[in-house]
Copies of this chain bind each other. A is one copy, B any other.
């Protein structure tokens, strides 16, 4: 049985380890021995994994089941801090985070790449792996990284070990995941289109064989790109496409509101054309680990690897629009309350509907802005017990009585909020409460009932509410 070492046991690394360990042959026998290696600082996580427990919350019910099965039944999945495992690897899958951080919101170009940990991790591999071990980079990297960072690091360590890297070049491939938080987390790795590329022919063939063994390639055929640059660029451009398309609707939202237009109607209508059905919707903002930063990896590569004058001005403008979008909801709130003190409850803090992932969530930006004004903000989210980015936030766990709040912000399209009836909202709140629909959660019928009950309502992209109010008078 070949040995696969997963380097880095974060959200993606552990999911990938679980998928690889659950890959079986025609007879149902596991194909790989899987070792997950992480740093000693993550010892608690490692201990949990080795007990067969998922060490973090995840909405995919199959994830803990498959993890437990691999650890306790197949016994082919082990987590460790011991770098010596790399020596045993036939394949290493690199899932070390490569973060690019913004110094401020609205000025995304002012960013820095936290590359040291990633580079160090590759050197560690170079010190230990067999000459013919495949290093499969799954991390979302700055495009060009395989050639300009991974290859030189492995070459250097190989040469120090006396290996002739011309005769025996390190085997490097790149393949990107398209993982999506939610109930289909593992399926979004295993049963979803996958692109890969090899640094050379033999690396590409090894990557293909591995991916064919672990992914559902009969339904989702692999796509091979002709260079590692091609697949690296594809990953960040794919997410940039999405980020720009959200920025587009965010940008037009202000115009729609001034025109007293419901922009969701506009978008619904446009999406009727197949050529336009990828359109997205405006909201509180854009969060998550990918759409907020992947463009910057390309920007970083452009100026650092290829041409210092390269720029992606429109795409980066889009990132800035998305990053500052929560301030539009802030403005909608402040328009009503001016300079007064008021109490706000924020319903939903995760970055996406029906998940508990709060990374770079727009709710964080809105919360911070209100909090910085010295205002009281309380939060609720059925999927979040603790908010790692804002540990001091005050959570409530019940939304049946919200009468102490002057402002209720519907921030995330969690089902529980979509299912709230107008009556429930009226029962829960006091008259004159400002209800802010930041994510198209209320339909017009509910809005009308709320207005009639004496609540005030505004919404991101919902300019038509002004017309509704006039018609009520």
Contact = CB atoms under 8 A, between A and B. Distances in A.
A233 B314 contact: no
B245 A266 contact: no
B227 A275 contact: no
Given A227-B464, A307-B258, A314-B251, A277 B276 contact: no
A87 interface: no
Interface string A208-247: 0000000000000001011101110110011011101101
A93 to B, nearest CB: 20
A56 interface: no
Interface residues of A, number: 62
A259 B314 contact: no
A296 to B, nearest CB: 13
Nearest to A230: B261
Contacts of A267: 237
Contacts of A272: 193, 223
A388 interface: no
Interface in A74-103: none
A335 to B, nearest CB: 14
B321 A261 contact: no
A203 interface: no
B317 A255 contact: no
A292 to B, nearest CB: 16
B298 A255 contact: yes
Contacts of A23: none
A47 interface: no
B229 A273 contact: no
A178 B266 contact: no
Interface in A255-297: 255-256, 258-263, 265-267, 269-270, 272-273, 275-279
B273 A233 contact: no
A144 interface: yes
Contacts of A262: 226, 230
A275 B242 CA distance: 9
Contact of A275 (B266, B278, B307, B321): B278
Nearest to A312: B251
Contact of A234 (B229, B241, B266): B266
A112 interface: no
A431 interface: no
Nearest to A444: B226
A3 interface: no
B302 A255 contact: yes
Contact of A270 (B241, B298, B315): B241
A144 B269 contact: no
B244 A464 contact: no
A195 interface: yes
Contacts of A321: 314
A249 to B, nearest CB: 8
Contacts of A248: 240-241, 244, 314-315
A52 to B, nearest CB: 33
A252 interface: yes
A161 interface: no
A313 interface: yes
18 contacts: A143-B259, A144-B259, A225-B266, A227-B261, A230-B262, A230-B265, A231-B269, A233-B256, A233-B259, A234-B266, A237-B270, A238-B270, A247-B314, A251-B315, A252-B298, A258-B302, A277-B278, A317-B317
- Ranked nearest first, the 3 interchain pairs of A and B with the lowest CB-CB distance are A258-B306, A278-B278, A314-B317
